[in-house]
Amino acid sequence: MKKVKQVVLGSVVSVLAPFVAAQSGDTFTGGMDPSEPMSVQVQLCTLNEGKSMRDYDAISARYRKWATKNDAEVALVRQYPFATHNNPANPYYADFVEFLITDFDNSGTGWDKWMSTKEGQKLNAEWRETATCNVKFAAMFTNWADVEAINADDSRMVTWNWCTRREGVSHDDLNKVHAEVAANYPEGLGNIGWFTMYPLMGGADAAGEFAHVVVYPDMAGVMKRMDQFANGGWRDRMEYYKMADCTGEALMIEEVLGRPSS
């Protein structure tokens, strides 16, 4: 798989590209370079009437076989709401959310193959019969990652915190703070990855300008971070909130459904 080229996003990438804390030469499965921006296809999905997750999983498995056959493999992960900001009067907006992560070239050629091949179009029709999925596109940047752990862990927890810069605060200002946090906690805080995601297409209704996405191996890792927060870490959070308005963290269960071949 080709590495992402920064020219894809032009000046946007040069402004948003964050500090990366990972061992030099480490790559995510499939050859994805942590120092490069990644293409993320987001699918907010609700099962159609009469359909089950078993039906959807069957379509997903066939898609992965199609992607391998057509040289269009991506990292595919699925998240389910666990501890979100929603409640019975304001339910979560989807049954589950999927993320297809790859480089921008592969995303583009993969979509062209999906839309131009008979098998791809047949699968697309069956997919739409099984679930209603709102598709959006985003760019994701690595702030810090234990790449080996990310590549090996197929069942994990993920927090989301959507933020918007306050007036007068630049992306460079935020990136400087992110770099300081990564430098102060080189082993992480119970987590195995920390990313920022920026909506690019279809994200006008996003809860913020960008999202902090933090990956934990399990609930023990989440609680390690919560313990640090309760014992003084909240002060750093309050300082950060002077620079950005944020929704606060929501917790999701994540399972890795597929990884691209190396």
Look at residue 26 in the predicted model and tell me its pLDDT. 87
Contacts 24+ apart (CB under 8 A), 220-227: 220/190, 221/157, 221/190, 221/191, 221/192, 222/157, 222/159, 222/190, 222/251, 223/190, 224/189, 224/190, 225/189, 225/190, 225/191
pLDDT for residue 3 is more than 70: no
Question: 3-state class of 262 per DSSP?
Answer: coil
pLDDT higher for 23 or 214? 214
Look at residue 31 in the predicted model and tell me its pLDDT. 86
Direct distance between the N- and C-terminal alpha carbons of the chain, in angstroms, rounded to an integer: 8
**Torsion on CA atoms 151, 143, 235, 238, rounded to nearest 10:** -120
C-alpha span between 201 and 223 (Å, rounded): 34
pTM for this prediction: 0.89
pLDDT for residue 6 is more than 50: no
* Residues in the chain, total: 262
- Domains of the chain in start order, with CATH, are 6-258 (3.30.70.100)
Write the pLDDT tens digit of every residue in 81-112.
Answer: 999 999 999 999 999 999 999 999 999 999 99
Q: What is the DSSP letter of 92?
A: -
C-alpha span between 196 and 144 (Å, rounded): 10
C-alpha span between 165 and 17 (Å, rounded): 16
What are phi and psi for residue 18, nearest 5 degrees? -90, 175
Structure tokens at 71: 């040289």
Mean pLDDT for 243-253 is: 97
Write the pLDDT tens digit of every residue in 170-207.
Answer: 999 999 999 999 998 899 999 999 999 999 999 999 99
Write the pLDDT tens digit of every residue in 49-71.
Answer: 999 999 999 999 999 999 999 99
Spatial neighbors of 7 by CB under 8 A, at least 6 apart, are none
